[in-house]
Amino acid sequence: MPQPVLAAAPTKAKLTANVAQTNRQLKLQSRPKGLLAPGDLQLAEAPLPSLTDGQALARVKYLSIDPTMRVWMATDSYVPAVAIGEVMRGFGFAEVVESRHKEFKKGDKVVGLTGLQDYCIIEAADKRGSFQKIPSIPFLSDTAFLGVLGVTGITAYFGMTDIAKPQKGETLVVSAAAGATGSIAGQIGKIHGCRVVGIAGGAEKCKWLTDDLGFDAAVDYKQPDWKEKLAAATPKGADIDYENVGGEIMHAVIDRMNLHGRIVLCGLISGYTKGDPALESFGMVLVKRLRVEGFLIIDYMNRYMEAATQLGKWKMFGKLKDRETIVEGLEKAPDAINMLFTGGNIGKLIVKV
Ligand SMILES: NC(=O)c1ccc[n+]([C@@H]2O[C@H](COP(=O)([O-])OP(=O)(O)OC[C@H]3O[C@@H](n4cnc5c(N)ncnc54)[C@H](OP(=O)(O)O)[C@@H]3O)[C@@H](O)[C@H]2O)c1
């Protein structure tokens, strides 16, 4: 994954009529243990940098709040951990406010690794495609490019179409089903003719899945009898597990898997705030000859347009619905990250900067 291009500690403030002179930034002060504690991310202010040739300055409007941010804060993974004192890494939607960059002009809308801050710098030397220009499409909101057409939407798309390869009549179980990725993955299962069962925390989320999104059943894992409900909802067993959670939920789904089922290992959120990676006993994978495939969306970035075009068409024709939970204020980003682990969001979680 490309590293974020963050505004380095500037030396000279630039005065421009429409641009604030300071940049609020959330910096990593300490590596969290469990949920984020006050002070793990600290708000600091820096003057805006002067632009040099080949740079553009963009105002961050929305931040995508993703479970992987908690991993980035803690440890090296598929990318290096965020360094202590560094602006917190994160995806965002931004608008170019000044430019000396030949490919980005004032007013262009972009998505990319903006970092958790008011302003970010787009670098000419950045060959890694950190920022993508976003076209204005009338029926799509800016935030859609962080959700249904953003990382979570395209993750669901490739996880389902490339890895799960759903067949008509199969049963798909999706965990964290009322979240950004799970809600789209389940709907893609419906589009392919699957029986779709979602697992989510709480009656409101379950109702949304069945009543609005068309899932065939939803299981509230916070109820004591949820495993029986899962069995009842999968009378023919499960052929596909779109796994977002891990731990006890994943094991309950594996118990329901049919011979030669497929597990799309998208995420293991139940382990991110614990030392335990929540992947203890994978023995049934062998006994049931299951196919488990982990994947990272960064491997699919060169096929972004394929996913975005299909997701956009499904959305336009009403086959795909999306929902967002929007938290107001950059300073609320640490609380928003915690919401992912306490289930405070329905659909895509976004911070409006
Ligand atoms: N492989 C990739 O490239 C890739 C890319 C994007 C995301 N992902 C993964 O996809 C998963 C979902 O990410 P997202 O961004 O779409 O977040 P999300 O689903 O919108 O939000 C996270 C949801 O997870 C549920 N959850 C949290 N802790 C849980 C626990 N201990 N047990 C059961 N459910 C729990 C909560 O819903 P409830 O109220 O239902 O508990 C929460 O709302 C994550 O595992 C993430 O790492 C992977």
How many angstroms does the Cα of residue 86 sit away from the middle of ligand 1?
25
Whether residue 266 has its Cβ less than 6 Å from ligand 1? yes
Closest CA to 212 of 313, 316, 321, 319: 321
φ, ψ of residue 240 to 5 degrees: the values are -130, 130
Q: Specify whether the backbone of 180 is left (phi greater than 0), alpha (psi in -120 to 50) or beta.
A: alpha
- Residue having the nearest C-alpha atom to atom 47 of ligand 1: 267
**Interatomic CA distance for residues 144 and 294, integer angstroms:** 25
How many angstroms does the Cα of residue 13 sit away from the middle of ligand 1?
40
- Predicted local confidence at residue 284, as pLDDT: 66
Identify whether the C-beta of residue 262 lies closer than 8 Å to the C-beta of residue 241.
yes
End-to-end Cα spacing for the chain: 24
Whether residue 67 has its Cβ less than 6 Å from ligand 1? yes
| SS3 state at 261 | strand
Identity at 184, one-letter amino acid code = I
In this structure, are strands 195-200 and 171-175 parallel, antiparallel, or unpaired?
A: parallel
- Predicted local confidence at residue 5, as pLDDT: 36
Structure tokens given for 289 = 């000859």
- Predicted local confidence at residue 21, as pLDDT: 85
Nearest atom of ligand 1 to the alpha carbon of 345:
43
Identify whether the C-beta of residue 151 lies closer than 8 Å to the C-beta of residue 297.
yes
Whether residue 120 has its Cβ less than 6 Å from ligand 1? no
- Residue having the nearest C-alpha atom to atom 22 of ligand 1: 340
Instruction: Give pLDDT tens digits for 134-153.
Output: 988 888 999 999 999 999 99
pTM of the predicted model, to two decimals?
0.91
Instruction: Give pLDDT tens digits for 212-233.
Output: 999 999 999 999 999 999 999 9
pLDDT tens per residue across all 353 residues of the chain = 333 333 333 333 344 446 678 999 999 999 999 999 999 999 999 999 889 999 999 999 999 999 999 999 999 988 999 999 999 999 999 999 999 999 999 999 999 999 999 999 998 766 555 899 998 888 899 999 999 999 999 999 999 999 999 999 999 999 999 999 999 999 999 999 999 999 999 999 999 999 999 999 999 999 999 999 999 999 999 999 999 998 899 999 999 999 999 999 999 899 889 866 445 456 567 666 778 888 899 999 899 999 999 999 999 999 999 999 999 999 999 999 999 999 999 999 999 99
Identify whether the C-beta of residue 174 lies closer than 8 Å to the C-beta of residue 242.
yes
| SS3 state at 146 | coil
- Predicted local confidence at residue 121, as pLDDT: 95
- Predicted local confidence at residue 197, as pLDDT: 98
Task: Find all residues with CB under 8 Å of 241, minimum gap 6, and list them.
Answer: 173, 175, 250, 253, 254, 257, 261, 262, 263, 264
φ, ψ of residue 289 to 5 degrees: the values are 50, 45
- Predicted local confidence at residue 291, as pLDDT: 83
- Predicted local confidence at residue 50, as pLDDT: 86
Identify whether the C-beta of residue 164 lies closer than 8 Å to the C-beta of residue 262.
yes
- Alpha carbon 195 to its chain centroid, in Å, reads 24
How many angstroms does the Cα of residue 179 sit away from the middle of ligand 1?
6
- Alpha carbon 197 to its chain centroid, in Å, reads 21
**Interatomic CA distance for residues 304 and 149, integer angstroms:** 9
Nearest atom of ligand 1 to the alpha carbon of 266:
1
**Interatomic CA distance for residues 47 and 51, integer angstroms:** 12
